[in-house]
Amino acid sequence: MTTVAFIGLGIMGGPMAANLVKAGFEVVGYNRSPDRVQALVDAGGRGASSVPEAVRDADVVVTMVPDSPDVEEVTTGDDGVFAHARKGALYVDMSTIRPDVSVRVAEAGREAGLRVLDAPVSGGEAGAIEASLSIMVGGEPDDFAEARPVLDAVGKTVVHVGPAGSGQTVKAANQLIVAGNIELLAEAIVFLEAYGVDTGAALQVLGGGLAGSTVLDRKGATMLAREFKPGFRLALHHKDMGIVTSAAREAGVVIPLGAVVAQLVAATVARGDGGLDHSGLLKLVAELSGRSDSN
């Protein structure tokens, strides 16, 4: 049985670790919040009280933490993954971080004797629960092949996209597209409501045509109901838009619509809505239109 150490058991990591248990892996989890560890134990996994304890005997180490500094802290510190994982283990970072940091982490991991993949995911909380995530993977092809059973246990679309850092680059593009889709869906909903049409019926027919999207399918009904329970928090999407706008600037690529959406996301977070689901962009669109954010 392959032993997987899973570090970061939040909204995404918790259900992903539980799905690895269901798939037959021995999963040892660590999280700063003990209640998250207990949830994994209740699902059939084992808990650890520290990163060194979690990774010591693991064949595969997975991290799912919020941001670039968190990944560097959990990997390169004295109590980090690279100092305590066994030589030859696979390290898979499934967080969403800056591509350049991902490359730096991969280099440090290889120097420590580990095989490293960056494998950020898309699909939100629902995809994590359903094990239907889209996973974009950067790293060596042979390492990807060996990690495939673990990745297949949590994702439905699993694709190797290039060398170290490539997964994070593709994820940045993903977040650009998702934010743009949410913003346009929000604008469409406010527009439809202004004319008093049956918005549920409108989204149904729009979803069956070229305007259809996974964003519309997953977010449309909750946006109509003004239900913004976080599946993916606006604060995290704000972080991700910073990644893509910075990376685009470094590459000399112009993303005019993306830059506007990044500013709208930033404004929504600045007004205190960072804890809402990213579909909470609708609140700002409604207010900019001089309309209440409730029907």
* 250 CB neighbour count, 10 Å cutoff: 10
Residue 171 appears among annotated catalytic residues: yes
Among 295, 207, 210, 236, smallest CA distance to 11 is for 236
* 226 CB neighbour count, 10 Å cutoff: 15
SS3 155: strand
> In the chain, what is the greatest distance between 2 CA atoms, to the nearest angstrom?
63
Task: Give strand pairing partners of 138.
Answer: 118, 162
Among 47, 63, 52, smallest CA distance to 85 is for 52
Active-site option among 171, 219, 239, 283: 171
Contacts of 253 (CB under 8 A, 6+ apart): none
Catalytic residue set: 171
